[in-house]
Amino acid sequence: MTPEELHASKILPIPGMLPAIARRWSPRAYADRPVSDAELRLLLEAARWAASSSNGQPWRFLVGRRPGTTYDRIAATLVPFNQQWAPLAPVLILAHAVARTPHGNTNHYALFDLGQAVAQMAVQAAALGLAVHAMGGFDRAAAQQLIGPQEDFLPGVVLALGYPGNPALLTDADMHAREHDHRARKPLEEIAFSAPGVPFGGDEPHS
Ligand SMILES: Cc1cc2nc3c(=O)[nH]c(=O)nc-3n(C[C@H](O)[C@H](O)[C@H](O)COP(=O)(O)O)c2cc1C
């Protein structure tokens, strides 16, 4: 399978789905091709215009571009598994959230809002032929140190960003195999319900 065939095989064949959603996936092999300033700005705009609780916009993005100190410092927070592949990506972003409202209360929606912003960024990236791969596998204390010791900053995920590359770049056999994995999800009946315990699409009890 050529890299082009592999990337094509990841596109979801779901009629009516937005093309960028159907194309979004999380590769581990990235091409040695930079992401332009304009592309990066557009991705950050896509995140910036996400919905958030009380329009609080708690998301923050520490953007590291290779070569660069910020990039190296974000890469250093990653767990060994992610360090094997993520440095192939030309951009690493430490996505974090402000966990307090301006009134000093806990913002219970901070990570939800950050997730929405990251999802919009990932879909916008897919529309541009780019890919965003989120990682929870990083050292939280090291990330906290990097974004500032203020306790109201909450590390969310590290994002690898770049153009998908040739899976042959992944020299580790397990990593290489994962890149070819079939994309799978739980069936709709397992995640959506028309009443408690009644799978969506089943008989909806009438009252
Ligand atoms: C919050 C979060 C944390 C993740 N952490 C990692 C990670 O540490 N390492 C990794 O290789 N992938 C990580 N992933 C990627 C998921 O494994 C991937 O999104 C999932 O398998 C679905 O694949 P898809 O994004 O290609 O549809 C993470 C994804 C999310 C949303």
Report the CATH number that the domain containing residue 78 is assigned in CATH: 3.40.109.10
Query: Does residue 136 line the site of ligand 1, with CB under 6 A?
Result: yes
Give residue-wise pLDDT tens across range 91-147: 999 999 999 998 999 999 999 999 999 999 999 999 999 999 999 999 999 999 999
Q: What's the domain range around 136?
A: 3-199
Q: Which residues contact 191 (CB under 8 A, 6 or more apart)?
A: none
> Which residue type does 6 have?
L
95's tokens: 């996505």
Closest atom of ligand 1 relative to the 156 alpha carbon? 1
Strand partners, 98: 153
Contacts of 167 (CB under 8 A, 6+ apart): 3, 6, 29, 176, 179, 180
pTM of the predicted protein model: 0.96
Query: Does the residue 73 lie in any domain?
Result: yes
The span from the CA of 143 to the CA of 184, in Å, is 31
Q: Specify if 207 maps to a domain.
A: no
Q: Is residue 89 part of a domain?
A: yes
> Residue 172 falls within a domain, yes or no?
yes
Query: DSSP letters along 94-161, please?
Result: EEEEE-B-TTS-B-TTHHHHHHHHHHHHHHHHHHTT-EEEEE--B-HHHHHHHH-S-TTEEEEEEEEE
- Domain count along the chain: 1
Nearest CA residue ID for atom 19, ligand 1: 26
Is any atom of ligand 1 closer than 6 Å to the C-beta of 159? no
**Dihedral angle sign, alpha carbons of residues 115, 117, 118, 122:** positive
Atom of ligand 1 nearest to the CA of 157: 1
Q: Does residue 206 lie in a domain region?
A: no
Q: Give the atom of ligand 1 at the shortest distance from the alpha carbon of 78.
A: 8
The answer, yes or no, to whether any atom of ligand 1 lies below 6 A from the CB of 25, is: yes
Has residue 204 been placed in a domain? no
Which of 11, 14, 25, 26 most suits a substitution to test ligand 1, by most atoms within 8 Å of the C-beta? Answer: 26
User: What is the position in ligand 1's atom list of the atom closest to the CA of 118?
Assistant: 31
Query: How far is the centre of ligand 1, averaged over its atoms, from the C-alpha of 27 (Å)?
Result: 9
**Quick check: is 205 in a domain?**
no
Q: Is residue 116 part of a domain?
A: yes
Pocket residue to mutate for ligand 1, from 133, 172, 176, 183, most atoms within 8 A of Cβ: 133
Tell me the pLDDT of the chain (207 aa) as tens digits.
888 999 999 999 999 999 999 999 999 999 999 999 999 999 999 999 999 999 999 999 999 999 999 999 999 999 999 999 999 999 999 999 999 998 999 999 999 999 999 999 999 999 999 999 999 999 999 999 999 877 689 999 999 999 999 999 999 999 999 999 999 999 999 999 999 999 998 666 555
Name the residue with the closest Cα to ligand 1, atom 15. 134
Report the distance separating Cα 58 and Cα 153, nearest Å: 9
| Distance between Cα 36 and ligand 1 center (Å) | 24
